[in-house]
Structure formats: C-alpha cells, structure tokens
Amino acid sequence: MTMTPSAYHFLFFFLLFSSPSLIAGQLLYNVCGTTGNFTANSTYQTNLHRVLSYLSHNGSTSGFATTTFGQIPDLVIGLALCRGDVKTTECRACLNTATQDAQQVCPFNRASMVWYDFCFLRFSNVEFLGSTSNDPELLLGNTAYVSNPQRFDRLLNLLLNATLDRAARSDKRFATGVVRKFTEENPTVYGLVQCLPSLSESQCRQCVRGLYDPLPSFLQGRQGGRVLGVTCTMRYEIYSFFEGSPKLISNIDQIAMSPSADRHFLLLLLLLLFSCPSLIAGQLLYNICGTTGNFTDNSTYQANLNRLLSTLSLNASTSGFTTTTVGQVPNLAIGLALCRGDVNATECRGCLDTASQDSQQLCPFNRGAILWYDFCFLRFSNQQFLGSTSNDPEIFMHNVANVSSPQRFTRLLNLLLNSTLNNATGSDRRFATGQVSNYTAASPTVYGLVQCLPYLSASQCQQCVFGLFNPLPTYLEGMLGGRVLGTLCTMRYEIYSFFEGAPTLRLTVPLENATSPAAPPAAAPPLAVPASGQGKKNVTGTVLAIAIPSVTAISLIFLICICYWRRRKPAPQYETEAEKIMSVESILFDLSTLQVATAFFSEDNKLGEGGFGAVYKGFLPNGQEIAVKKLLNAGQGLAELKNELVLVAKLQHRNLVKLLGVCLEEEKMLIYEYVPNRSLDLYLYGNHQFVHSYEMQVAALQINHSNTVNVDPARGKELPWGTRYKIINGIAQGLLYLHEESQIKIIHRDLKASNILLDAEMNPKISDFGLAKLFDGDQTQGTTNRVIGTFGYMAPEYAMHGKFSMKSDVFSFGVLVLEVLTGRKNSGSYDSETAEDLLSFAWEKWSGGAALEIVDPVLGDEYRGSDVLRCLQIGLLCVQENPSDRPSMITVDLMLSSETVSVQTPSKPAFCGAKSFKDVPVSDSSALPVGALEKSGTRSVAMSPNEVSISELEPR
C-alpha cells in the first residue's frame, strides 16, 4: 500500500505529539522538599497560591520572576524561569502546568522543584534566592552513541564553550548554538545553555562550565544529553530542539515527494524511534542512587558488585526474575533483577546489560542504586531489602493529553486494572496485561499492565497494586496514559498497545450512548475474566459495568452509616496515660517483633545501658537496622516515653535522628533509626580519652560510665574540611528546623558534639531531646530553677540565671562550630587552672589577625581559608555574651549558605578569659540550683559531658 504525503505528515505528527516526552510541557523531573508540610486552608497554603499566581503571570511576561509572600513561619519564596527561546504563550502555559503539578506531585509540601522543557518552577519556605549552588542536578542521556566519540567530545566542548560565552554576556543568560561538519551522517550538533538571570556573568560561567568540563562519564559518547539544575542547565543534541529551526519538517516534505518516499520515510521513522530516548524500550525511565555510602576503586565491594551484576543479568534473562547476594558484611552486595513479563530472553538480557552499565555511570562508586526501564528493573544495595513489603519509592509518569470523558474513563480504567490485577495475582509470574474496548469512537481501546515481584504472595501483590490505582492518584486523573513505578509492583495504562503479544485479558463494554439490555438476575461473575469466546466477554463486561458501580454505591452508603454512628458515640471524658501516648501519631511495634529483631535482647546486640534502661541493636524483617531503647520500669518509663513521643514523633528532618516507633506492651520501648558512624566527638577530639559508649548514641540516651574508648589522633583525618563544613551546615539546618520550621518550637538545651550523630555519608543528625523545652508560638524565653546541661556548651544567662531561649541554643551551636574548626573540646578547658578555654583561644587568634592558626592541625593546608574565616566569625557571633547580639538560626543559615550575605564583627565572647568555676560550690545532684555551678568541665552537673541527660518535660 502506498501512503500519500498527507498520510506521512499525520503519522509523523502523531508520533511527535502522542509521546509525552516529546511535549514541551511534559514534566521532566521533580523534587519534593524536606522542610515540612502544611495543612489545607492554612495561611501557608493561601500564601503559596498567591506566590504561584504571581510567578505564572510575571514569569510569562519577562521570562523570569522571583517573589516572597507572608511572614515566618508562613513565608513562601518562589522562582519561575522560562527557556529563553519560548514565546510568552508557551511560557505561560508551561508555568500554569507547573503550578498545578508542583502541588500534585508534592501534595501539602512546603517546598517543590519541577523541571520542564520550557520552564522551571521552585518554591520553598526556606530562603534559596541568592544561592549559587546548582544542586540537585539531574542527568538525562540519549541511548544512541556517536561513531567517533573523541571528535564528538572535542566539538561539543567547543560548541558549549562558545555558547556559554554568549549566554554569560547576555541579559537573559541564555544562548543556543550549532557546530557543523561533525560527520556526513550527523552534520550538525546543537547546543543550549541557560543560567538564572540573577547570576552574575562569572557565576553563570562557573555554574555551566561545571556541567560539561569535564563531561560527566554518563554522557560521554552519547548523541544527546542534558543536565538540569536549579541555577543553570545545558543540553546538546544532533537534532534541533529549540525554537526557530523547522529543518526537520522541510526534510519530511522532500522525502514525501521523492520517488522512494515509502522506503525513506520508513527509515526516517525508524531513526526517530531509535534516536528518541522515550521511545526506546531500553531507555532509562528513572533512577535513584543509594544513601548507604560509597566504595573505592578496585575494592572488595566493587569486585562483589561486578559479580553480582553479571549473575543478575545472566539468571534473570532465562527466568525473568532473580535475586542474589555476593560477599560478606561489610562488603556484602545484595541484588534483584526483574524483566517485564512479556519480553523475550534476548530483550531481557539486553535491558539488564544496559542497566548494569548505567547503574555504575549514574551512581559511580555508590553502594546502592535503583533503575527502572520499560523492559526491566534493577536494584542493588549493601543493605538488606529482600523481603520488604514497602513499594517506596514510587514514581509517577503520565501522558500530557487529557481524556474527553474523564468519569467514564476512570470507571473503565478501574474495571480494567482490577481485572488485570486478578489475573496477575493468579499467575506464578505475578504479571498480566489487559484491554477494555468501546471507550470512545476516537480512542476505542484502553490497554493496561500490572506486575509484582514474583516472590510476593497473591494477597501482597493485590494490596500493593491496588494501592496504585484505587483511588487513582490526582496526578493521573483525566490523563490518556500513565504509570506508577515502584520497587515491588508497577502498573501502566495507555490508549495504545505498549506491550508485546496479545493481552491476557479482554473486556468489552457498551458504547457510551448505546442502550444495553438489563442484566439478568444472576450472581455477578468474578473480576478475572478469561479471554475465551467473544460473546461471553461482552456479557461479562456488561455485567461488570453494572455490578461494580452498584457494589461501590452500597459500600459507600455502608461506610457513611458507620462514620455517622461513630461520630454520635460520646468521646471518653478521661484518658489514661497510655491513651494519651496512643494519641500521638507514632508507629506501634509488637513486642514479639522487637524480640526477634534483637535476638531476644541478647548481650551480643547490647549497645549500652543508661539511667532509663538498655539499648539494643536490631534488624527488622525488611533488613532495616534499628536501635531499641528498653525502658526500665512502668512508672518512670511511661513518663519518659510520653516526653519523647510528644517531641520527637512530630519532628521529621534529615538532620534530626528519626523516631521510628514505640512499643506499648508489658515492656515500654522506643525504636530509633540506627546511625552507623557514631557521634561527632569521637572524630573531633583525637587527643582525648573520654567516656563514651558510641553505639549507644544511636538512640540518644543516657550513657553509663563503664565504657571507655581510646581515640586515635589519626581519627581526626576522617573529617576533611569538606565534611566538617557539611556538618556545620547540617547542624545549622537541623537547629533552624527546631526553632522556626517544625510544627512546635523547640529549645534543645543540650546541643554538644556527643549529641551529633553521623550517618553513613557523614551527614549530621541532632539527637537527645530529653532536656528540650517546648515554646508557644509567641514565647521567646523560659526560666528554670534547676540548671541541667553540659559545661562548655551552656550559655551564660542559662548557667548563671536559669534563663533559656533560642539564643542559648545558638550559643551552643557557636561552641560546636569552634570545636569543629579546631578539633579541641571546649568543656575540656576547665580541667586545669592553666588551660586556656576554647572561646578565649579563638577570640585572641581572630582579633590578633592570626585566625587561621586555630585550624585543626590534622587538616594541614587542605582547607579553604575564606570558608574557615567565615565559619570562625559566625561561631564567635554565636558565643557573644549578650543574647540579643547573637544571630538567629535563620541568619546563621543565610550566612553559611550565601557568600553575598555580610557577616557582622563579633564582640568579646562570654566566659572569655575565665579559667575555671573554682569559686562555685560542688553539688552531687543531677541538677543544680541557679548559680550553683561546678568546677569540673568533665562533668555535666554531676554527669559526664558525653552523657545524654533525660528529664521530665514541663507543660507549655
């Protein structure tokens, strides 16, 4: 059959505009914030809507806009940027889509970032304007490779350098460029770079050059690629992808009119299919790198990982699914590979080979990675994940086109996916495909696919997939196609066939306007309908189409009645202590689960023991490591449990130790995340011997005095300057969250190095909220008659007069900053009459013009002097004697994150020149009356400075 030129045009445009990734408004990537959530109809939501409306309007007229609205804690900061070559209408349309998607992909989140071909949108409750950091960065690459990679890389560098030069000198910080005569087959390479217009010329150059010089290994040799960031982006292709170059269409016209149009057009279509990443079955859909640390080149872990990936690729290609482990802890590598149930062994092997290569390019030297493709899924880690029943993370993708009849489409989709799921749970491979006919005349058929890991039980698979589409996520409502990718189960639906072979299930429903006979008064057939005779399919589809809405309506009425009855039940007038604790939103753990996790609390798993009980290390069934705090007695333990839950259960931040749950049975226990790299003090004080039970710190508990650890001075070398700077920033962000961003304002009161835990990547986590105090929204200061804390970190107004506030935490933070810079312990300065305290030492060096002499000697010259000076000045600002002179944590965070924010000159620190508290009487109590300060710096008011003290919380 010969196709007419108009038919070629239609087919070509259909390919272009039916593929989501070829649409400029398609969401490329999104990142949700970690600074908390807001509630519906709250002040923050109102402010957010105003910010998004402003950005959509002003961003579309100028191409770039920033704004802020409201006051802390409901302050909203926003930014919108359109690609420099798009028209106002295209910009406005993209930003309108972005404002909707940002709230759908990150519902009720205080921060979101969304990238599109035509625009970029970002909002947050934390200041980011003025930042020059480009993180997070996302790399996307074409799957096709060039024939001469060395020549291509040279020409690409030439192109991007020249394009960057033009962009940096333009007001819009945007430019496109071409380089010709690459090869005869691909004569032209196209490039684009863009920075935020708020960046200076030099900042733009520095940002973009970091994207391609050198070119990331993942992009080397590829025919196209891009890097998305928050301050700059770059892209290159062997075809024109920016506005104003209609060469592709004119080529099609010439081919369509040539004598060999059919042959050439088919070749062009094949080229389009195989050069466009989204149309390749082996194209990477999404990837996530692990957070459990890195390995080194030629290490044992790398050898184990290579063996693991080779085994997975080989075994999965024959069976479609495999899991395996290689090596022993700490070099244990655990892996899983799954191919889509309809692909053959060759396609499966090809996809997994690609995944194995991409995993090491996308996540170089990372101990964990997750990658999704059309044909396969690959996952590996050094942490146990086999047996987990969590589908997280879940990735949502959708077609940009909308359905014409969304209600009917949703009903048919629910019918299709329910039936397909039933088929999948009944199969050994936990895979099924299906189709439902007679949706509309224009789009007659809807196709669906569901798949679970084969080792899931039928009920586990049912529960996992059912949660993906019932109810359908708002992000997918009304879309002609969509998919959800998970680590246990996936689902996809489209209005075109996207799987191989015939579907395992076929359903037919009456057309929308057709009249159908009444269903016979017989029992409704099961949802899983076998693909047998056509007449039987029609009857079954009709019955299902009538029965399912009826059952749903009856169920809704039943649920409404239950809700009404429950609301009429009188609430109990009094609550027991256990009931008060139960009202806290926490995860309840069974005692039996914890007994198995800790090997029945064996001595081998014991991490330490303190005043309120012992702490044990354990493993949950999904392989997650935990720390279990076992409280001693019911009375004291229940009160302690209540205090911890009231505070910690509401705190969710990457720089705070996470409370995982609680056990409320005959034994009361708290369950925390296990933090593997112990506490900061072990790495800082290389020349001290001190009391510490390091693994006890994972639960932030009181430590007894029985365990002593000799710390090698070489340990300080494990904290290079970059890690120290990251730790300072992380502590600042965690403290900022406690003071300003959490649902409740919290004063920590015991911030010190031993209460800063370090995760696998040396990110800091603030622990121990036993001494913390809650403040009301308008409360700024509290007073106590009993001073509890750690000498060396106490602010003078708290130590002398019992007054505490956010500024007393700021003082402790300042001491921590100075300790991180110097590797010296401030509380250790009270050990002798002649010792010079750390604050005096830092002040004298800074004021005497020898500031860099304070730097920890183990760093040598491997640090950035300007960063050290800035941190030193911030630390001295924080330890000033007058609380009102100390900066807030908001100001501290701004000073740390932006070099453009000026840092004031500090005044003389508190306690500067004080050698000891020798005139203060000694008390043996765990807490002293105001003014009764002890002499010893190695005691935290009758406790070790490395203890974690716990006290009863007072009500607001």
The annotated binding site for ATP is made up of 630
Cα–Cα distance between 854 and 865 in angstroms, integer?
A: 12
Query: Residue 348: which of 321, 375, 323 has the closest Cα?
Result: 375
Distances (CA, A) of 924 to 153, 610, 611, 941: 72, 18, 16, 8
Q: Say if CB 69 and CB 152 are below 8 A apart.
A: no
Coil, helix or strand at residue 554: helix
- How many Å separate Cα 780 from the centre of its chain? 33
Angle at 690 between CA 719 and CA 790, to 5 degrees: 90
Report CA torsion sign: 32, 36, 42, 44: negative
Cα–Cα distance between 712 and 43 in angstroms, integer?
A: 52
Annotation marks residue 750 as catalytic: yes
Sequence-ordered alpha helix ranges (H) in 290-344: 300-319
Distances (CA, A) of 145 to 141, 221, 744: 10, 5, 53
Beta strands at 445-452 and 431-437: parallel, antiparallel or unpaired? antiparallel
Paired tokens of 532: 């047998």
Coil, helix or strand at residue 80: strand
DSSP state of 880: B
Sequence-ordered alpha helix ranges (H) in 863-946: 865-878, 889-897
Q: Say if CB 369 and CB 380 are below 8 A apart.
A: yes
Which position among 85, 101, 750, 768 bears the catalytic label?
750
Query: Residue 112: which of 59, 76, 86 has the closest Cα?
Result: 76
Number of Cβ within 10 Å of residue 567's Cβ equals 8
Location of structure tokens 């999965």: 316
Cα–Cα distance between 886 and 909 in angstroms, integer?
A: 10
Cα–Cα distance between 421 and 425 in angstroms, integer?
A: 6
Residues 6+ apart with CB under 8 A from 424: 430, 431, 432, 450, 451, 452, 461, 465
Residues 6+ apart with CB under 8 A from 896: 728, 729, 732, 870, 871, 874
* Residue 596, CA atoms < 13 Å, CB-side half-sphere: 8
* Burial of 635 per CB tally in 10 Å (0-12, 13-18, 19+): exposed
Contacts 24+ apart (CB under 8 A), 848-854: 854/818, 854/821, 854/822
Residues 6+ apart with CB under 8 A from 37: 108, 109, 110
Cα–Cα distance between 640 and 659 in angstroms, integer?
A: 14
Cα–Cα distance between 572 and 250 in angstroms, integer?
A: 77
Number of Cβ within 10 Å of residue 446's Cβ equals 26
Cα–Cα distance between 326 and 332 in angstroms, integer?
A: 6
Query: Residue 382: which of 300, 487, 490 has the closest Cα?
Result: 300
Number of Cβ within 10 Å of residue 904's Cβ equals 12
Cα–Cα distance between 454 and 316 in angstroms, integer?
A: 12
Cα–Cα distance between 882 and 795 in angstroms, integer?
A: 10
Q: What residue numbers does the annotated binding site cover?
A: 630
Catalytically annotated residues: 750
